[in-house]
Structure formats: C-alpha cells, structure tokens
Amino acid sequence: MIEVRDLSKRFGSTLAVDHLSFSVGPGIVTGFLGPNGSGKSTTMRMILGLDHPSKGGTTVNGRPYGEIHRPLHEVGALLDAKAMHGGRSAYNHLLCVAQSNAIPRRRVGECLDLVGLDTVGRKRARTYSLGMGQRLGIATALLGDPQVLMFDEPINGLDPEGILWIRTLLRSLAAQGRTVFVSSHLMSEMALTADHLVVIGRGRLIADSSTADLIASSSQGYVHVRTPDVEGLATRLRSAGAIVDTDADTMRVTGLECAAIGELAALDHIALHELTPRSASLEEAFMELTKDSVDYRTDATVAIAS
C-alpha cells in the first residue's frame, strides 16, 4: 500500500508536483500516467525518500520510507536502468545490495535467473544494453521479495519480447497480491497492463480511476461524414443537437449516431457519400486528458512550415 497525501515539490520557481493525493492498493497493477516532465519520477523519488517533499508526504505500508529499516524486504524499486556502477558485474551489484539488507546470497542467483541474466551475470554492467540494464534493475527490485513494487518507465529500451515479458511479470506480481505501481508516458501500454490508472499532468492529479472507466469516459467517438452539401447537413445536424466540425466536403460529427445522421439527411434529401463511425484511440483519450498540462508541445504544422 502506497499513500501520497497532499504532496508538493518545488524546484526553484517550478512546481513539479502540485498537491498530489492518491493511494495505490495491493493485488492490481496501478499505472502512473503522464506526459514527460509531468512529475511522475519526482513523485516516485519522494515515495522512496530520495527527494524531500516541499509539502505533504508519502507512506509505504503506513510509514514514511525513511523510517523503514532494511526496506528492500517491503519495497522494491526500479527508478532508472543506470542506477548502478558500470564497473561492477551484475552479480556483485546484486550482492552488495542484498548484503545491505541481510538478504541471503542465494537470492542473487535466483534473481539473475528470474530476469534472464544468469549467463551474463559475471560481465560488467557497463557492457549491458539498455534492455539488459532494465532487467538488472528489475532483479534489484525483486531481491528482497517485497510486497510493494515500483517501476519507473520499465519498458524503456526493451524489445518487443522484453515488453511482453515485463507485462507478464507485472501482472503475475499483482496476481500474487503485491502492490505494483508502474509509471509510463504510453497510454496504449498502460491500457494493456494496468487495472487502475493515476493520471497526472504538470504535477497535478487529472484522473484516478479504473482503466476501463477512464477509456470509456474520455474516448469520445465521432462520425466521419462526406457529402456534397456540407452547409445544409451541418445546419440540420446542429439543430438536432450534434457538434459539427466542417471541412470542404467532409464533417466530423459528435453527439449523433450514424443511423440518426443518415435519417436526418434523408429527410432533407441530402446525398451522403460516406458515413463512417470512428472511435478515438487511447492515445487521443490521453492527449485529451492531458492537453492543458503538456510542458513542451510542438505545433506540428508550425514546425513543418518553418
């Protein structure tokens, strides 16, 4: 169980995390979603006691992280794949971490097996690819067999097989009753992995609900219509309560189903050349949710024109 209460973090004039409150429960995968720079990593660092909150606080299993002795038995975390000394072998890296928390040496080999690094465990971590580094980071998180796991962008740098492996691992850890908290900036990935989503933007909470509810509530479908009489049909549909965006010979209609649009067009004898239902993608739902909270946005058309 992870609790975040009224958490704020200020770096100079930037409020990186802004009065954030949520909790992460056991038995499910909870996704922590937000654009790059939205405060996900900073929040995770504060949960682990690496950064000090400007205001508010966090607890893991009811206690601030800094008060837990030998915390690896309770909490495992992957913050970034490079949180290790490149000159040390994977085995020795895991060994020194294990020793600090009185975790038996046998467990080091088990964790290397678990993440598929058993054959390269004696090689120096510097020689690892980003994906192997991620696996070693995950092995580090699993060392103490903790009930609470936190992973910051675990699929970064992984190939498709690795992504599938992570997804299965996260789900099986949750199925064992553990608390699994995973950050990502990829909505599509989280939709496949997470049962519950905490969405933030510019450090503020945007949504905290089950994945299914979030997708249903924010992915508004629309109907793509092509007609020679855009003006006439648009007037007709608007009077029926639809929201219509028109273009030269097409329009985008929200608030009316295909059947209703077709019938209204028939009443006015307006020809339809195309009538297609479209559902918004998960990415669009995410963009919709976070559009006001993206720090560095590029206007695609402007970027191309200039």
Q: Using CB under 8 A, list all residues that contact other proteins.
A: 45, 48-52, 63, 65-74, 77, 79-80, 82-89, 92, 95-104, 106-107, 110-111, 114, 116, 140, 142, 144-145, 165-166, 168-169, 172-173, 176
Backbone angle region of 268, left / alpha / beta, with phi > 0 → left and psi within -120 to 50 → alpha = alpha
Q: Closer CB to other proteins, residue 52 or residue 55?
A: 52
Are 116 and 135 spatial neighbours (Cβ–Cβ below 8 Å)? yes
Q: Smallest gap, in angstroms, from Cβ of residue 115 to other proteins?
A: 8
Token representation of residue 14: 């930037």
Q: Closer CB to other proteins, residue 113 or residue 263?
A: 113
In whole angstroms, give the CA distance from residue 144 to residue 178.
13
Q: Smallest gap, in angstroms, from Cβ of residue 124 to other proteins?
A: 9
Token representation of residue 300: 């695609």
Please classify residue 10 by burial: count the beta carbons closer than 10 Å to its beta carbon, then call 0-12 exposed, 13-18 middle and 19+ buried: middle
Q: Closer CB to other proteins, residue 124 or residue 224?
A: 124
Q: Closer CB to other proteins, residue 5 or residue 88?
A: 88
Q: Smallest gap, in angstroms, from Cβ of residue 13 to other proteins?
A: 16
Q: Closer CB to other proteins, residue 115 or residue 256?
A: 115
Name residues whose C-beta falls within 8 Å of residue 207's C-beta, 6 or more positions apart in sequence: 197, 198, 199, 214, 218, 289
Q: How far is CA 77 from CA 40, 146, 218, 229, in A?
A: 14, 10, 31, 59
Strand 204-210 and strand 196-201: the pairing is antiparallel
Q: Smallest gap, in angstroms, from Cβ of residue 152 to other proteins?
A: 11
Are 190 and 183 spatial neighbours (Cβ–Cβ below 8 Å)? no
Q: Closer CB to other proteins, residue 19 or residue 88?
A: 88
Q: Smallest gap, in angstroms, from Cβ of residue 256 to other proteins?
A: 46
Q: Smallest gap, in angstroms, from Cβ of residue 181 to other proteins?
A: 14
Q: Closer CB to other proteins, residue 156 or residue 246?
A: 156
The amino acid that residue 146 corresponds to is: P
Q: Which residue is associated with the tokens 């699929």?
A: 155
Q: Smallest gap, in angstroms, from Cβ of residue 23 to other proteins?
A: 19
In whole angstroms, give the CA distance from residue 80 to residue 98.
18
Q: Closer CB to other proteins, residue 79 or residue 225?
A: 79
In whole angstroms, give the CA distance from residue 295 to residue 183.
18
Q: How far is CA 206 from CA 22, 35, 65, in A?
A: 11, 12, 25
Token representation of residue 211: 């994945």
Q: Smallest gap, in angstroms, from Cβ of residue 190 to other proteins?
A: 18
